[in-house]
Amino acid sequence: MIFVGGVLGSVGDLAPTKTFSSGESITVTVDPADKPAVYVATNSRINYECEISGGSGQAKLAETSGSQTLTVGSVTWEQILVINAPSKGDYKLTCTNQETANVKYGVGKPVTSAAGGIVGGAAALFLIPGAGILVAIVATIVVLMRRSSARKRLAVGG
């Protein structure tokens, strides 16, 4: 249960918290420590263009390597960009596409940040039962040693 909760919680935390349509501008608070990512949800291939401005320094958008997707509910998000900002601040983000497809953009955490939750879930999967087994072994040894000493006392006193 803890393993599944850790994995599902991590994936849910990645989902875009702010969503917008093509041509809309949104203001996002970017913290470089969070390594925010831009996602797109669409059922068809599109050509997109995104721009970022504002903040206390020049932020840049970088393409992600490979295809990284996550599904939350019935929406499949594909990570398309990461936001590289020099400092924490509010930035204006705009994404557009020429196609008339149903497209939704969003900003969330990168897929790679789920590794912590998955590792934590896996650790819980193995460490909690391992700790339980270790406690059981120690308790068994203590009980056996006390029984042995009690029998010896009865034999000597008896």
DSSP 3-70: HHHHHHHHHHHHS-SEEEETT-EEEEEE-GGG--EEEEEESS---EEEEEEESSS--EEEEEEEEEEE
Q: How many CB atoms lie within 10 A of CB 111?
A: 21
> ∠ CA 88-91-97 to the nearest 5 degrees?
140
- pLDDT over 80 at 6, yes or no: no
pLDDT-derived band at 61 (thresholds 50, 70, 90) equals very high
pTM: 0.62
> How many residues in the chain?
158
- pLDDT over 60 at 25, yes or no: yes
Q: Across the chain, what does the average pLDDT equal?
A: 81
pLDDT given for residue 73 in this prediction? 80
- pLDDT over 90 at 130, yes or no: no
pLDDT one-digit tens code per residue, 62-78: 888 777 888 878 888 99
- pLDDT over 60 at 125, yes or no: yes
Which residue, chain included where needed, has tokens 């953009």?
105
Q: How many CB atoms lie within 10 A of CB 78?
A: 15
Q: Which of 6-15, 95-104, 135-144: highest mean pLDDT?
A: 135-144
% pLDDT > 90, the chain: 29
Residue type, 127: L
The answer to whether the CB of 105 falls within 8 A of the CB of 40 is yes
Q: Is 91 helix (H, G, I), strand (E, B) or coil?
A: strand
Q: How many CB atoms lie within 10 A of CB 129?
A: 10
- pLDDT over 70 at 123, yes or no: no
Q: How many CB atoms lie within 10 A of CB 100?
A: 9
pLDDT given for residue 38 in this prediction? 92
d(CA 143, CA 151): 12
